[in-house]
Amino acid sequence: MPRLNPRFRDRPRRGIPLRAVAPNAVTALALCFGLSAVRFAIAEQWELAVGTIILAGVLDGLDGRIARLLKGESRFGAELDSLSDVIAFGVSPAVVMYLWSLQYMPQFGWTIALSHAVCCALRLARFNAQIDATEQPRKAAGFFTGIPAPAGAGLAMLPLYLWLAFGQQIPLFRSAYFVAPWTAMTAVLMVSSVATFGWGSLRLRRDVRFGALAVIALIGGALVSAPWPTLSLFALAYLIAVPFGARSYAKVRRRGAAAPPPSSTPSASDLPS
């Protein structure tokens, strides 16, 4: 049996581990679907443009879970995920909303579209800068700081959902003077310091879990039969939940501040003689 040259024995292995290929492939697919929305927007295929961004959001929610399941987390995957999020949930929604509505506001339409992409990039840069921080109380409690990038993209496209749901009946939904302030508001929410709900902060009591399964099934049926009204309700419900998330985290902080510090083991000098 040939012996390994000592010069190469301790050399670190290059490349991506096999267990990390699957989650990174899902992340790359999310990037492709998100960027494809620009192509559909250029062709004025608005349903497909929205659908590909939503599909990118679903894939973005799966890649991290697949990585944890396969123990394939890596710094490479974290960086790729952030780059994918900037394109799929920052650049693509900005271009879609500009081509759909904001281009009809010649002076400020492109600036508003840029604000969404820039705020998404700033949010992800802030996240990457804190990824190695040892103390992250909001993350530990299951909350986000500001709304996450996929939710920001979905919320920014609410006027487009409403327009697709009601057609030409309400022209206000496509008006740049309605879309512009809405887009600017969602951009600000992404870079804000407001605590918002994350999956880790949601708790279901045992007596309502069975009913929650039925509700999820009904929501799935509604998305298939009436996707645009259902997505509109989703976006509005998420926006309404934002102040409740901040209130819930404030309660968590107060409970943490009121909790007594852990008792330390007495030293020999503290023991009675």
What CA–CA distance (Å, rounded) separates 133 from 140? Answer: 12
If one counts every other C-beta atom within 10 angstroms of the C-beta of residue 130, the result is 12
The mean pLDDT of 160-173, rounded to a whole number, is 87
Query: Does position 273 have pLDDT exceeding 60, yes or no?
Result: no
Query: Does position 8 have pLDDT exceeding 60, yes or no?
Result: no
DSSP 144: E
Contacts 24+ apart (CB under 8 A), 13-18: 16/74, 16/76, 17/72, 17/74
**Choice between 269 and 137, residue whose per-residue pLDDT is larger:** 137
pLDDT digits (tens, 9 = 90+) for 34-84: 999 999 999 999 999 999 999 999 999 888 888 888 887 888 888 899 999
The mean pLDDT of 234-246, rounded to a whole number, is 91
pLDDT digits (tens, 9 = 90+) for 221-239: 888 889 999 999 999 999 9
Chain centroid offset of residue 98 CA: 21
> What confidence category does residue 272 fall into, taking pLDDT thresholds of 50, 70 and 90?
very low
**Choice between 252 and 87, residue whose per-residue pLDDT is larger:** 87
Question: Taking a C-beta distance cutoff of 8 angstroms, is the pair 119, 86 a contact?
Answer: no
Interaxial angle between packed helices 176-191 and 158-166, expressed in degrees from 0 to 180 and rounded to the nearest 10: 140
Q: How big is the chain by its Cα radius of gyration, in Å?
A: 23
Q: What's the confidence (pLDDT) of residue 184?
A: 95
Query: Does position 112 have pLDDT exceeding 50, yes or no?
Result: yes
The residue among 259, 93, 105, 272 whose CA lies nearest residue 190 is 93
What CA–CA distance (Å, rounded) separates 160 from 47? Answer: 9
Q: What's the confidence (pLDDT) of residue 39?
A: 96
**Sequence-distant (≥ 6) Cβ neighbours of residue 12 within 8 angstroms:** none
> In whole numbers, what is the pLDDT of the chain averaged over residues?
83
* Dihedral angle of Cα 50, 64, 184, 188, to the nearest 10 degrees: 170
What CA–CA distance (Å, rounded) separates 144 from 175? Answer: 32
Amino acid letter, 63: D
The encoded tokens of residue 38 equal 């620009």
Residues in the chain: 273
Question: No. of H helices and E strands in the chain?
Answer: 12, 2
What CA–CA distance (Å, rounded) separates 150 from 90? Answer: 9
* Local structure of 143: helix, strand or coil: strand
